[in-house]
A and B are shown apart, each in its own frame.
Chain A
Amino acid sequence: MLDVGPLDAFYGDSHIVQNVSITIGDGEGVAILGRNGVGKSTLFKSIMNGGPRVDGPIRLRGEDITGLPSFARARRGLGFVPEDRRIYPHLTVAENIAMGGHAARADRPPYTLEDIFGFFPLLRDLQTRRGFELSGGQQQLLAIARAIYGRPDCLLLDEPTEGLAPVIVEDLARQINAFRAANGTACLIAEQNVRFARTCTERLYLIDSGVIVFSGTWAEFDAQADLQQRYLAV
C-alpha cells in the first residue's frame, strides 16, 4: 500500500531522517515509536511533502508520488492528522469535518456526516460547536474525523494521544480500531504511548536519532526486554 524510502529528510543542514524505509500493507496498522525529537514528525511531514527537504522514493499503491505536492497526496488517499491538529477555530465541528471533503475523488465520494457520527458518536452532540470551544481530546477526535471524511486508504496519525486524559485515550483507541475494522483502512501511527500504539497496530518500528533501530511485531518487541528501556524510557 505505502512504501517509503530509503528516505532522507533535512531541515536546512540538519539531517533529521536518515535512510529510513517503511512499508505498510493493505489495511495494516503500523506504529512508529520513539522519544521526542527523533524525527517522527519529520518523517510524517516528508510522507506528505509538507516542509522538509526530502530525498528518496515514496510509493502509494505502486504509484510513485515523489515530487507531488501535499494536496495531491491527500487526494490520492493519504489522510494526515498533524500533531498540532489544526482545527479551524471559527468553523463548527460539522463544517470542520466537511473540509475533509476536499480530499475526496470522483470515484471515491466522501462519507456522510451521519457515517462520521456513527464512528465517533461524541461529535454528534458537538456538531454545532465551534473549533475554539473544544477540549484537546475533542479536537483530536475532530481532526481524525476530518481526515477520515474523504475516505483515505491510509491514515497518518502523528502523536494522537499527546496531551489527552487516559480515559479519552482508551475511547480513541477503540473507535479507531472499530473504524479501521469496518473499512479496511491502513494506518501509520507515531506514538510515545506504547499501550495505545499496541492496541491500534500489528507491527512497529523503533526510531532513534533519525535511524530505524528495530522493526517487527509486538511479540518480537516484547521478546527483547531491553528495547523499551533503551529507546523509550525517559
Chain B
Amino acid sequence: MTSSTNGSTINGSTWRRDALIAAVALAVLVSLPFVANKGIVFVAGTLALHVVFGLSWNLMFGQTGLVSFGHASFFAIGGYAFAWTAKMFPQLHPLLLFAGAGVLGALVALVVGMIALRRSVGVYFAILSLALSQIVYLLLSYTPSLGQEDGLTGIRRPLLSLGLTTIDLARGDNYYYFMIAMCTLLAIGLWWVVHGSMGRVFKSIQQDPERAAFLGINVQGYRLRSFAIASGTTAIAGALYGPWLQLLTPEIAHWTFSARPILYTLLGGVQSFWGPVVGALCFAVLEYGTRTLHGLSEIVVGCILLLIVLAFPGGLLGGLSRLGKRMAGKPAVAAKPELAR
C-alpha cells in the first residue's frame, strides 16, 4: 500500500492508457456479432452488465473500504423496477425508465445507508447488507404482481425514439449494441468518480477514516455517497438485464449473486480500476468453457478460482504488475531510510 498504489493520480498517462484499453475492449465487443455465434454474443452482453456490477461494487470496496454482501439487491431493484414500470406504463420513454431505475436504486441505498452506515462499518455493514438482500429476495419471491418465484416474464425490448429517428431494440443485435453503449457510459462515469476529487476523498477514507475526519472530511456523508453511486449504477445495469434476458427471477437478488462482484474483484485485483473487469471476463470464459460439463462445472470453476486466488493474492492484475516489476528488474519501491527518525 505504501509503495505504488496503481498510479491513481489523474495524469495524462493513466488517462491515455485506460482510454486505449477501453477502445480495444469496445472494438472487440462491437465486432463480436459479425464473427461469433449468438451464444457468444449473449455471453458478451451479459458480461458487459457484470462488468458494471463488479466496477460499482469495487467503488465501495477498493475505493471507499465498504464491504457489501448484498449488492445484488440493487441489481434486482433496478431490474424489477424497470420491468414492472415498462409493463404498466408502456408510453414512458425507455431512457427515462432506465434513469428512474438508477435513481430508485440510489435512493434505496441512501435510506438504507443512513441507517446501516450510522454506526456500522466493516463486518457489521456486510451483514446488514446481506440481510437487506435477503429481504429483497423474499419480497420478490412472495409478491404476486412480480411473478413470485416464477419471475416476471415477457419483458419486451422497447422502441427507442431519439427525436430524429426511432430504433427498434427488439430487432437483430440492436439491444446488444444499446447495452454496450449504456455499460460504456456507466463505466466511464465510474472511472470519472474514481479518478476525480471525490474518488480521492473516498480513497482517503478507505485508508484511514479517523485521519480523514480529523482533516474535516465528512466521512459518513462520503460513505453514503459512495454507496448511493455504486447502487444507482448497479440498478441501471439490473434494469438493462430484464429486456436482455426477457425474464427476471428473484435469483438475481440472492446472496449467491451478491458474491459475483466480490469474486470478480478478488480475482482480478482490488487495487486496479480494471480488476473487476478482468475478473468478470475470466469468470465468463470459465463458465462458458465448462458449460457442457453438467454437474461438474461448479467444481471445475471452483478449483480454478481457488488456484488463481492462492497463486495471486493481489488478484490477476496484482500478480501481473509484480511480475512486470520483476522482469524490469526494478526493486519494489520501499521507503527510504532517513536519518532523523
Bind each other = yes
Contact residues in B for A103 (Cβ distance below 8 Å):
215-216
Among residues of B, the one whose C-beta sits closest to the C-beta of A168 is: B340
Contact residues in A for B216 (Cβ distance below 8 Å):
71, 74-75, 100, 102-104, 150
Contact residues in A for B211 (Cβ distance below 8 Å):
82, 86
* Chain A: minimal CB distance from B106 (Å): 23
Give the total of B residues in contact with A, Cβ under 8 Å.
26
Contact residues in A for B5 (Cβ distance below 8 Å):
90
A164–B204 Cα gap in the complex (Å)?
A: 27
A86/B208 contact (C-beta < 8 A), A102-B215, A164-B340 known: yes
* Chain A: minimal CB distance from B153 (Å): 48
Contact residues in B for A133 (Cβ distance below 8 Å):
335-336
Task: Judge whether B341 and A163 touch: CB under 8 Å.
Answer: yes
Contact residues in A for B339 (Cβ distance below 8 Å):
135
A100–B217 Cα gap in the complex (Å)?
A: 9
Mask: chain A, 83-98; 1 = CB below 8 Å from B; 0 = not = 0001011100000000
* Chain A: minimal CB distance from B80 (Å): 36
Interface centre among B2, B212, B341 (most CB of A within 10 A): B341
A71/B217 contact (C-beta < 8 A), A50-B210, A86-B208, A90-B2 known: yes
Contact residues in A for B207 (Cβ distance below 8 Å):
88
Contact residues in B for A50 (Cβ distance below 8 Å):
210, 213-214
B140 within 8 A of A: no
Task: Judge whether A132 and B2 touch: CB under 8 Å.
Answer: yes
Task: Judge whether A165 and B340 touch: CB under 8 Å.
Answer: yes
Among residues of B, the one whose C-beta sits closest to the C-beta of A70 is: B213
A144–B201 Cα gap in the complex (Å)?
A: 20
A194 within 8 A of B: no
A75–B219 Cα gap in the complex (Å)?
A: 13
A132–B340 Cα gap in the complex (Å)?
A: 14
Contact residues in A for B220 (Cβ distance below 8 Å):
69
A137–B341 Cα gap in the complex (Å)?
A: 7
Within residues 33 to 71 of chain A, which ones have a CB less than 8 A from any CB in chain B? 48, 50-51, 69-71
Which of B201, B213, B341 is A136 in contact with, Cβ under 8 Å? B341
Within residues 133 to 151 of chain A, which ones have a CB less than 8 A from any CB in chain B? 133-138, 146, 150
A89–B5 Cα gap in the complex (Å)?
A: 10
Among residues of B, the one whose C-beta sits closest to the C-beta of A135 is: B338
Which of A88, A89, A135 is B341 in contact with, Cβ under 8 Å? A135
Task: Judge whether A137 and B340 touch: CB under 8 Å.
Answer: yes
* Chain A: minimal CB distance from B338 (Å): 3
Contact residues in B for A138 (Cβ distance below 8 Å):
338, 340
A57–B25 Cα gap in the complex (Å)?
A: 59
Task: Judge whether A99 and B204 touch: CB under 8 Å.
Answer: yes
Among residues of B, the one whose C-beta sits closest to the C-beta of A137 is: B340
* Chain B: minimal CB distance from A162 (Å): 10
A120 within 8 A of B: no
A88–B214 Cα gap in the complex (Å)?
A: 13
A70/B341 contact (C-beta < 8 A), A88-B204, A90-B2 known: no
A135–B339 Cα gap in the complex (Å)?
A: 7
Contact residues in B for A119 (Cβ distance below 8 Å):
none
Contact residues in B for A100 (Cβ distance below 8 Å):
215-216
Interface centre among B213, B214, B218, B338 (most CB of A within 10 A): B214
Among residues of B, the one whose C-beta sits closest to the C-beta of A152 is: B216
Among residues of B, the one whose C-beta sits closest to the C-beta of A50 is: B210
Among residues of A, the one whose C-beta sits closest to the C-beta of B8 is: A90
Contact residues in B for A70 (Cβ distance below 8 Å):
210, 213-214, 219
Task: Judge whether B218 and A71 touch: CB under 8 Å.
Answer: yes
Contact residues in A for B210 (Cβ distance below 8 Å):
50-51, 70, 86
A205 within 8 A of B: no
A39–B218 Cα gap in the complex (Å)?
A: 27
Task: Judge whether B2 and A71 touch: CB under 8 Å.
Answer: no
Mask: chain B, 1-29; 1 = CB below 8 Å from A; 0 = not = 11111000000000000000000000000
A132–B220 Cα gap in the complex (Å)?
A: 27
Task: Judge whether A74 and B2 touch: CB under 8 Å.
Answer: no
Contact residues in A for B338 (Cβ distance below 8 Å):
134-136, 138
Among residues of A, the one whose C-beta sits closest to the C-beta of B339 is: A135
Among residues of B, the one whose C-beta sits closest to the C-beta of A99 is: B215
Contact residues in A for B335 (Cβ distance below 8 Å):
89, 132-133
A196 within 8 A of B: no
A198–B340 Cα gap in the complex (Å)?
A: 23
Among residues of B, the one whose C-beta sits closest to the C-beta of A51 is: B210
Residues of chain B touching chain A, judged by Cβ–Cβ distance below 8 Å, are: 1-5, 201, 204, 207-208, 210-220, 335-336, 338-341
